[in-house]
Structure 1
Amino acid sequence: MVVLANCLLPTPGLDRLISLTDRASIKRAVVTNAPEDNAIFMLKTLRLTDTFPTVIMAKDAPPGKPDPAPYELALSRLMVKSKRAIAFEDSAAGIRAANDAGIYTIGITSSHPAEDLLTAGASMTIEDFNDEQLWELLGSKTKAVG
């Protein structure tokens, strides 16, 4: 487990995305199908526990993804309407869950090819959070909010 902790790194550009959401007072949540121990371990190892105070796991909203219940619970806890949310997902099940909750969904190609994520319903795909297409989209969305 120590070896895994030493190799675990956040997706490139995550710090930039977190800074933007801080500046714009945008709420954040983690919605995961990972077992609780794994999710907590990853958040602690990446020092993101305080960054994501709202964490929704499959056990919190059964049956979990691809059902939209986990995303619906996150929206409820954040007190955010689905049309004002963006989900970042790396799996077809996650994309279907977010889409079915009415959330604009971006696929991250860390574990599946872009074609698979787009077929599942992603509105666009990115390799990581440094993608310029993402930042153009976020710029337009944060201007609309502000």
Structure 2
Amino acid sequence: MTCSTGENSVESKDALAKLAPLEAVLFDVDGTLCDSDPLHHYAFREMLQEIGFNDGVPITEDFFVENIAGKHNIDIAKILFPDDLPRGLKFCEDKEAMFRKLASEQLKPISGLDKVKKWIEDRGLKRAAVTNAPRENAELMISKLGLSDFFQVVILGDECEHAKPFPDPYLKALEMLKVSKDHTFVFEDSVSGIKAGVAAGLPVVGLTTRNPEHVLLEANPTFLIKDYDDPKLWAALEELDKNKDA
């Protein structure tokens, strides 16, 4: 169900309550644990301009959101280099190296991440990171954020039959954690990721880190939050706790 993004939305408050007793929380990485999209955008913009892509005109934020954000590298390569996939894949590989250099210097967690991490740990819930990022990127980001010991499982789109927006990565996470989709929810920030979670039958809390609300709502998240400090999220988690104890 898609519901209002209004601050006191009753639907938002009750949206997760049916999951009690909660077993697991699944997180995307880029844009969900950390605001990494500006670093990806910068790397793509600089490197594409360098090779004269789009007649040397820098790609816009809108182009980045529509064609790149949340997508798997093979799909990005097909979009950017439709006539030369090997070149596209090599370009993406080089771009990831540039991203890792930037990330190692500039990566910051999404506001409130420590708070939601503690909430999950205090309740002994299972957790997995589920990402379309290459392993080197995922491991770097998780490590830089101090979350290497937090996640029991890291699922990569690369290692599934289909990456997001297909449900395979989330279905694999459920299987590996041995939890039910009826007692698990997802944090995501991209259309591709929200679609993957919804297709796996999971409620998805969408973060408006960089992508516009109206774009994310088209993917049918359960509700949207600004970050992990958002009162809407904590109202929903409080209702979930109440249901567990009911």
Deviation at 1:6, TM superposition (A): 2.9
Listed as ranges, the gaps of 5+ residues in structure 1 are none
Any residues of structure 2 matched to 1:1-146 within 5 Å, and which? Answer: 3-146=102-245
Write the distance in 2 (CA, Å) between the matches of 1:38 and 1:62. Answer: 20
Deviation at 1:45, TM superposition (A): 1.1
Amino acid at match of 2:130: V
CA contact (8 A) 2:194 2:219 kept: yes
Amino acid at match of 1:141: L
CA contact (8 A) 1:109 1:125 kept: yes
Listed as ranges, the gaps of 5+ residues in structure 2 are 1-99
Amino acid at match of 1:57: L
Q: Deviations over 1:80-107 (max 9, x none)?
A: 1112111111111110110011111011
CA contact (8 A) 1:107 1:122 kept: yes
Write the distance in 2 (CA, Å) between the matches of 1:105 and 1:29. Answer: 14
Deviation at 1:2, TM superposition (A): 5.2
Write the distance in 2 (CA, Å) between the matches of 1:143 and 1:61. Answer: 36
Q: CA RMSD in A?
A: 1.3
Structure 2 counterpart SS, 1:28: strand
State the percentage of identical aligned residues.
36
Q: RCO greater where, 1 or 2, for CA within 8 Å and sep 6 or more?
A: 2
Write the distance in 2 (CA, Å) between the matches of 1:102 and 1:63. Answer: 16
Structure 1 counterpart SS, 2:150: coil
Deviation at 1:141, TM superposition (A): 1.4
Q: Deviations over 1:47-105 (max 9, x none)?
A: 11111121100122121101101000101111111121111111111101100111110
Amino acid at match of 1:130: D
Deviation at 1:145, TM superposition (A): 3.0
CA contact (8 A) 2:103 2:141 kept: no
TM-score (norm 2): 0.57
Write the distance in 2 (CA, Å) between the matches of 1:84 and 1:142. Answer: 13
Structure 2 counterpart SS, 1:42: helix
